[in-house]
Copies of this chain bind each other. A is one copy, B any other.
């Protein structure tokens, strides 16, 4: 039976604000049973002690009840980045479209032990869950996958202590660093599933270190609120219907917006300068990654993000990259997640664009 993806982009007034989604459900605009994934930005620091992600997740679960929905909340709304939810619904369709359309699948791994964070176990489990999500989405070819959004766990002092008690060695005792390693292993797992990297070539020492290895479509966000992975795969499939399409670009560095402009053009949004108001409404969602390049340089000029002990580098990078992308698309209600280890080249990152080709 044919399916179609529906995507609602809903502004939130705070981490626990589910009122816009509740209203859409109450009005019959969306059937809660069709919701398969929610990806959102919350206004915490996006680092270890960011509890807004868990707060938002709890609020959504209270609204949605027991059904299994992949929830990926990403903390950090620096600069103009506007807190919002992207609600992905899988609806029945009357028939297939003429050509490929946006398809969506979800995957879940088992829980991870503290000592597995940032190590190959995460790569393996992620790769398997991505493959499973692709299958669920009816996406046969990895080439048709345009974005893999992963929520992954991190270490806190208590989880480290628990491993210590068992005599298990964790990959790092630095909790902020554990977020980077968890994202790194997750991204490599997606890269393996998409055929971007050969699994056999990977070892623990590559994770969070060998920046020549990267996926052009993985996006990972770490959080304190879960201990497994929740994964949303987005791609194009001929068995789906509806007006939505997705494409992606890879930014080579934090201000490399021209590949994103080119992707917009491929999706029918062609603009020399900033996307004009008439086209903005057709851009349903933008999802991207931000990070401070590890060599401390941006196009030959020094940046200070890595030496700043007051503001985490991920916070700097989100604000900055969001500025670059918002200047391109004309607003800042976009999903920019921090920490792009193995997600695009060092200092850059993948960007996915979902466009409503039917909207006027």
Contact = CB atoms under 8 A, between A and B. Distances in A.
A324 interface: yes
Contact of A83 (B14, B50, B272, B302): B302
B161 A316 contact: no
Tell which of A78, A79, A158, A300 has the most Cβ of chain B within 10 Å: A79
A316 B49 CA distance: 15
A115 B59 CA distance: 29
Tell which of A43, A261, A273, A303 has the most Cβ of chain B within 10 Å: A303
A79 B158 contact: no
Question: Main SS of chain A's interface residues?
Answer: loop
Contacts of A177: 174
A58 B257 CA distance: 39
Interface stretch (A189-197, A235-243, A306-314, A350-358): A306-314
B301 A43 contact: no
Contacts of A47: 309-310
Interface in A14-30: 14-16
A51 B52 contact: yes
B332 A14 contact: no
Interface residues of A, number: 80
A255 B299 CA distance: 22
A308 to B, nearest CB: 5
Contacts of A97: none
A258 interface: yes
A32 interface: no
Interface string A273-284: 110000000000
Nearest to A253: B80
Contact of A156 (B11, B48, B307, B330): B307
Nearest to A84: B301
Interface in A171-219: 173-177
Interface string A221-260: 0001000000000000000000000000000001101100
Given A309-B50, A321-B323, A295 B43 contact: no
A79 B48 contact: no
A62 B58 CA distance: 11
A254 B80 contact: yes
A305 B79 contact: yes
Nearest to A44: B51
Given A79-B317, A258-B273, A11 B54 contact: no
B48 A309 contact: yes
A322 interface: yes
B43 A49 contact: yes
A315 interface: yes
A54 B16 contact: yes
Given A11-B302, A316-B319, 8 more contacts: A45-B310, A80-B298, A81-B303, A176-B309, A255-B274, A257-B273, A320-B332, A327-B328
